[in-house]
Amino acid sequence: MSVPSREAKISRLADADLFSSFHKDEIEIIADYSEYQRLDPDTPVFRAGNPGEALFIIDAGEVVISKQDPDGKAIDIARFLTGDCFGELDMLTGSARTASARANTNTGLLRFPRRGTAFKDILSRHPAISAQILHKMLVKIAGRIRKANSLIKENSPLIQELKKQVYRDKLTGLFNKTYLEEQLGRYLAKKNARAALLMFKPDNFKLINDTYGHEAGDRALQIMARELERLLTGEEAAIRFLGNELAVLLPGDGHPEALKRAREIQEAMNNLDLRELTGGELFRLTVSIGIAVCPNHARTADKLIDRSQGLPLIGRERGGGQILFPKDG
Buried b (16+ CB within 10 A) or exposed e, 253-272: beeeebbebbeebbebbeeb
Determine how β-strand 323-324 pairs with β-strand 287-294: parallel
CATH of 193-328, one of 3.40.50.2300, 3.30.70.270, 2.20.28.90, 3.30.930.10: 3.30.70.270
- Of the candidates 243, 236, 110, the residue with the CA atom closest to the CA atom of residue 171: 243
CB-based contacts of 251, cutoff 8 Å, min separation 6:
187, 195, 234, 235, 236
Contact 161, 168 (CB under 8 A): no
Q: Where are the domains of the chain?
A: 6-119, 193-328
3-state secondary structure of 272: coil
User: Would the CA dihedral through 143, 144, 145, 146 be positive or negative?
Assistant: positive
Q: Are 199 and 241 in contact (CB under 8 A)?
A: yes
Q: pLDDT by residue (tens digit) across 136-194?
A: 777 766 665 555 444 445 555 555 666 666 788 889 999 999 889 988 988 898 888 89
* The pLDDT value given to residue 110: 94
Answer yes or no: are the C-beta atoms of 285 and 220 closer than 8 Å: yes
Phi, psi of 286 (to 5 degrees): -120, 145
Buried b (16+ CB within 10 A) or exposed e, 71-90: eeeeeeeeebeeeebbbbbb
Superfamily of domain 6-119 in the CATH hierarchy:
Jelly Rolls (2.60.120.10)
Residue 146's pLDDT is what?
Answer: 55
Instruction: Give pLDDT < 50 ranges for the chain.
Output: 148-152, 329
